[in-house]
Amino acid sequence: MTLASVLFYFFATIAVAGGVLMVTRKNPVHAVLFLVLNFAGVAGVYLVLNAQFIAVVQIIVYAGAIMVLFLFVIMLLKLGGEESVFARQPFVKTLSIVIAALIGAQLTYVFFFAAPDKGTMVDMETGVYPGTVKAIAETLYTKYLLPFEAVGFTLVAATVGALVIGKKKLED
Amino acid sequence: MEFTLTDLTHLLPIVIVAASVLVAMTIDMFTKEADKTLGWFTALSLFAAAYVSLFFVDKTGVHLSGVVASGGATNILHFVFTFGAGVVALISMEYAKKTEMRVGEYYVLVLSSVLGMMLIAAAKDLAVIFVGLEQMSISFYALAGIRRKRDKSVEASLKYFLLGAFATGFVVYGMALIYGSSGTMALDTIRYAFPDLVSQPLFVLGLALFVIGFAFKIAAVPFHMWAPDVYQGSPTPVAGLMSTVGKAAAFAALLLIFRPVFDGAENALFPFLAIVATLSMLYGAIVAIAQDDLKRMLAYSSVAHAGYMLIGFASGEATGAAGVIYYLVAYAFMNLGAFGIIAMIESAEETNLKVQDYAGLGTRAPALAALLSLFMFALSGIPPLAGFFGKYYVFIAAVEGGATWLALVGVASSAISVYFYLRVVVVMYFGKSENRMEYSVSNVSLLGVTISAMLVILLGVLPGSIIKLIESFVR
């Protein structure tokens, strides 16, 4: 077993354990914390695959920003009584199990039947690792320059929209 | 990547709209009474973009390392988006004054939604479709709730946002599967590999999720639940914008990804599309009969119209694609006209929206009544107006594609829909009016509605030459 595969199994175990613990927790705050653990594990897997940029983004954006925001919302809304929400709505529970099973089946299909040999992350012809900061920056600022700039406009629209709906007092 | 001045000139319509978004924000910042200024600025810059897009219609090409296209069908769609939104800006000015809406953000968001639509229509890459779709949708979510003091407006916004985000999830997952099975995000590469790819279950699944996501956006049954509430709750010009050019943009995305189908490859999704089209046509037409609120009625009618347009896809013929584009143009302007008149008649408190309220309009405001009758006749598909030829072309495509039964369902649904469209006309001219409602007619709104009326007649009188023009680009 190479070091890479040892690391892979290490991070993968963390990710899977975090995921399982997250969905089985009754307390939403605990669930969120285990989701952060799951994200950290997935970020480790990205690192093993030489996708440094995605690994860092995973930590900073998902584990850092979004989940902290989530925690704040849960704590501010005091969702203590939320513990039994899923118990009271069997429909939601069934639906989530069905969706999870479908996505699981689809991923299993991809891994074992559709593309069992596409697992490599390095472009053999050029020797470029597509997950590095350099490779991503190059693609983003050359081929995908237009969508990249357009995302700026999307964020402007989102900001304006959030302001117009969310601002407490509008001087009109 | 090479970026030259030619790229810039060919993408001028997009550049104009993108620049107007920024300029409109600046105008709002520095002008105290921005109502009129911003309204005219938005309308004029959109009409300018529409003019420019027609100017470049025969110069097809791809730009910026092949992620966007210009010319041909792209520019025809750009014309529809910009011109339609320009008409919306015209009918918004009076409405915004009447309802004391926030104008600064309103026009910025209208412009930015148009920018999103233009990106979708120009896309040569899945990433551009996605960014454009989000740009358009986010602007729409905010526009639906822009009268934030009214509960209905906020409810419409929230409902649209939640379901829209859900639909976006479908689209992204579909794109991920398409990318995973084809190994590329470039639409042209996917197009060439299409015959091989359809044999892959993952690719078909991706396509299906993609179509489901966009079926939400075009409000086709069974993904239409949001449409009536959102159209009813949104400010009337916004409902007009969403139901016409917004729908056209979603259809543009479907057209882009399904282009290969029109080259005669086997259409794996035909049963799915045919069922959705059938359900949409029948459901939309039948439920619309029971509606008293005009905006709700037009929402259900837009569900039915989405069904007619889907026939053009299901048939898989190149004439179907051209028919869909023609239908989009026709539908955009007849619906915009109808929404324009509703916006004029409607009061600031959102009354005067029932069909009964229109009783006696034929004698009191003959011009408005005549125009609304024209749009209703066009929507129901009575020749020689635009709506008739739109339906004619998609039905013909269905027959040529060997799906005659689909065309028959369409004809039956059209026959049903005549009832509720003509009810409005009958009430206007023969109904007894009990309350003498107030309405405000401004010259600017009337201008917008008249432009729509002229286009509806023009498209109906010269359908042959226009469809030929579209067909020459769709191939």
Q: What is the pLDDT along chain B (475 residues), one digit of tens a residue?
A: 567 788 888 899 999 999 999 999 998 888 877 778 899 999 999 999 999 998 888 888 888 888 888 888 899 999 999 999 999 999 999 898 888 888 888 999 999 999 999 999 999 999 999 999 999 999 999 999 988 888 888 899 999 999 999 999 999 999 998 988 888 888 888 888 888 888 888 888 898 899 999 999 999 988 998 999 999 999 999 999 999 999 999 999 988 887 766 665 556 778 888 899 999 999 999 999 999 899 999 999 999 999 999 988 887 777 888 889 999 999 999 999 999 999 988 887 777 788 888 888 888 888 899 999 999 999 998 888 888 999 999 998 888 888 889 899 999 999 999 999 999 999 988 887 766 667 777 888 999 999 999 999 999 888 888 888 888 776 5
Encode burial over B166-186: b for 16+ CB neighbours within 10 A, e otherwise. ebbebbbbbbebbbbbbeebb
Alpha-carbon distance B334 to B15, whole Å?
28
List, in sequence order, every residue forming a beta bridge with B61; answer none if it has no partner.
B70
The answer to whether the beta carbons of residues A83 and A26 sit under 8 Å apart is: yes
Give the SS3 label for residue B162. helix
Which two structure tokens, joined as six digits, stand for B44?
């004029």
pTM for this prediction: 0.92
The answer to whether the beta carbons of residues B202 and B180 sit under 8 Å apart is: yes
Residue A123 phi/psi, 5-degree rounding, is: -75, 105
pLDDT of residue B221: 87
pLDDT in tens, A111-137: 777 665 555 545 555 566 777 888 888
Do B100 and A172 lie within an 8 Å CB cutoff? yes
Query: Which of B138, B155, B170, B204 is most worth mutating to test chain A (most A CB atoms within 10 A of its CB)?
Result: B138
Give the one of B128, B134, B146 whose C-beta lies nearest to A146's C-beta: B128
Alpha-carbon distance B26 to B350, whole Å?
31
The answer to whether the beta carbons of residues B378 and B460 sit under 8 Å apart is: yes
Do A150 and B135 lie within an 8 Å CB cutoff? yes
E strands present in B233-293: none
Q: Largest alpha-carbon pair distance within chain A?
A: 68
Give the SS3 label for residue B393. helix
Chain B partners within 8 Å of A165 (Cβ): 142, 145-146, 148, 154, 157
pLDDT of residue A80: 56
| H or E stretch at B321 | helix B318-345
Describe the crossing of helices B318-345 and B247-258 by its angle, rounded to 10 degrees: 170
The whole-angstrom distance between B422's CA and the closest CA on chain A is 38
Domain boundaries, chain A: 1-82, 83-115, 132-172
Do B142 and A157 lie within an 8 Å CB cutoff? yes
E strands present in A32-136: none
pLDDT of residue A39: 94
Domain boundaries, chain B: 5-474
User: Which of A28, A6, A76, A80 is closest to A36 using CA atoms?
Assistant: A28
Do A165 and B205 lie within an 8 Å CB cutoff? no
Alpha-carbon distance A166 to A170, whole Å?
10
Query: Which of A95, A96, A160, A163 is most worth mutating to test chain B (most B CB atoms within 10 A of its CB)?
Result: A160
pLDDT of residue B332: 94
Which two structure tokens, joined as six digits, stand for A166?
């969310």
Q: How many Cβ atoms from other residues are within 10 Å of residue B328's Cβ?
A: 28
Encode burial over B67-105: b for 16+ CB neighbours within 10 A, e otherwise. bbbbbbbbbbbbbbbbbbbbbbbbbbbbbbbbbebbbbb
**Which position has the token pair 């050359």?**
A142
Chain A partners within 8 Å of B200 (Cβ): 114
A140 touches chain B (CB under 8 A): no
What's the first-to-final CA gap in chain A, in angstroms? 68
3-state percent breakdown (helix, strand, coil) of chain B, nearest 5: 80, 0, 20
The whole-angstrom distance between B63's CA and the closest CA on chain A is 10
The answer to whether the beta carbons of residues B358 and B431 sit under 8 Å apart is: yes
Tally the C-alpha atoms within 13 A of residue B187's C-alpha that lie toward its C-beta: 26
A114 touches chain B (CB under 8 A): yes
A161 touches chain B (CB under 8 A): yes
List, in sequence order, every residue forming a beta bridge with B62; answer none if it has no partner.
B69
pLDDT of residue A126: 59
**pLDDT for A54 beyond 70:** yes
Write the CB contacts of B199 (distance below 8 Å, at least 6 apart in sequence): none
Q: For chain B, what is the radius of gyration of the CA atoms? A: 21
Encode burial over B310-320: b for 16+ CB neighbours within 10 A, e otherwise. bbbbbbbbbbb
Do B145 and A147 lie within an 8 Å CB cutoff? no
In chain A, which residue's Cα lies nearest the Cα of B140? A161
Give the one of A145, A154, A170 whose C-beta lies nearest to B135's C-beta: A154
Name the pairing type of β-strands B61-63 and B68-70. antiparallel
Chain A partners within 8 Å of B141 (Cβ): 161
The interface predicted TM-score (ipTM) is 0.91
CATH fold for domain A1-82: Four Helix Bundle (Hemerythrin (Met), subunit A) (1.20.120)
A172 touches chain B (CB under 8 A): yes
Describe the crossing of helices B103-122 and B73-99 by its angle, rounded to 10 degrees: 170
Chain A partners within 8 Å of B68 (Cβ): 146
